Structures are given as structure tokens and as C-alpha cells.
A = this chain, B = another copy of it.
């Protein structure tokens, strides 16, 4: 797949915003990630679900997480197609993992001792964008991390690719499509 000129990307994003009725203000954020120059893709909150996970990040936070994919990424996941084609974008939303006392009260009747945890506030969001030419030096992937709409530091972004290299045989993607 050829690299798309910026104007085409902008048009696609505009269509995505209109087509999916995005309510997130983040889509309008103009900040981009260091090194990779990636902005928050408009409409990503409406992308299809890849999987969810739970990360107890020692000494930092306890997180509930979801990974969403644009249509190109979702198709590749389902077909088990590797490497992911150019244009694939994977979004990861990370929230705090908080106890739900309300749910526990309800569930304690039929299931004594049950504990329910729901999402709290957002910790951060991350994106992996596949462009095999632009990001040839990092496995064809560009990375981006945002907290409250603001991109993380250059130092932080330097850690993305090395951390993903153990998943090289899955094109640097840890997440597997949930059944």
C-alpha cells in the first residue's frame, strides 16, 4: 500500500468523524507524538474491539485496558495476516481499575464474596500506526502515547519499539484478537 498524502489522511479522518458521530474532544487535539509525529486519530473510540486486558503495573497503577482497531487492522487480526498491512492502526485505552461497591452489593446476594471492578478515569491512550516506509527503522510501526490529550516525552517514546521487539514474530503486536 502506498503512503497516503496528508490531505487524503485528513479527508479520511474527516469522514470518520462525521460517519461515526465522535463526541470526543480529543479528536481535535493537534499535538503529535515525538519521534513518530502521530496525532490522535479522530473517531478511534468507535473502532472495533480487538481485546481487553488487566495490567497490574507494579508500583504505578492497576489498569483495565481495551485495544481497538481500525478496519484494516481488524481485518488483518481476523485473517491472521502478518505483517499488518500499511494503514493498520491499533488504539489502546487504559483506565484505572477500581472497585465497584455498588455492583458488589448487588452480586453479593446470589454470589457471596464476589468482587467487581470497573473502569475509573483514563490513565493514557496509545496508538501503533503501520507505515512500512515511514517507520522502517522501527519494524514499520510508529508509536504514540497521550495523557489528557498531551503526548508523552521523547524519552518515553524511545522505549516503545524496544519493548515491543519480543513480539517480533507477531509483527511487534502483543495483543491477540479475543474470541
Task: Give the secondary structure class of A's interface.
Answer: mixed
- The interface residues of chain B lying within 8 Å CB-to-CB of A53 are 64, 100, 116-119
- Chain B minimum-CB-distance residue to A176: B118
* Bound CA–CA A90/B23 (angstroms): 20
Residue pair B52, A64 in contact (C-beta under 8 Å): yes
Most buried by B among A54, A59, A103, A122: A54
- The interface residues of chain B lying within 8 Å CB-to-CB of A114 are 55-58
- The interface residues of chain B lying within 8 Å CB-to-CB of A23 are 78
A5 at the binding interface (Cβ < 8 Å): no
Residue pair B57, A54 in contact (C-beta under 8 Å): no
A48 at the binding interface (Cβ < 8 Å): yes
Residue pair B54, A116 in contact (C-beta under 8 Å): yes
**Count of A residues near B, CB < 8 Å?**
52
- The interface residues of chain B lying within 8 Å CB-to-CB of A65 are 52
A166 at the binding interface (Cβ < 8 Å): yes
Instruction: Provide the A8-48 mask, 1 if CB < 8 A to any CB of B, else 0.
Output: 00000000000001010000000000000000000001101
- Chain B minimum-CB-distance residue to A117: B54
A130 at the binding interface (Cβ < 8 Å): no
Q: Which 6 A-B pairs have the closest CB atoms?
A: A58-B113, A54-B117, A56-B115, A52-B52, A58-B114, A119-B178
Q: A-side interface residues toward B, CB under 8 Å?
A: 21, 23, 45-46, 48-49, 51-60, 64-66, 68, 74-75, 78, 93, 95, 97, 100, 102-103, 105-107, 110-119, 121-122, 159, 163, 166-167, 174, 176, 178-179
A-B contact pairs, 13 of them (CB 8 A): A45-B49, A49-B66, A52-B65, A54-B54, A54-B97, A54-B118, A56-B115, A57-B107, A93-B178, A95-B178, A95-B179, A106-B167, A121-B179
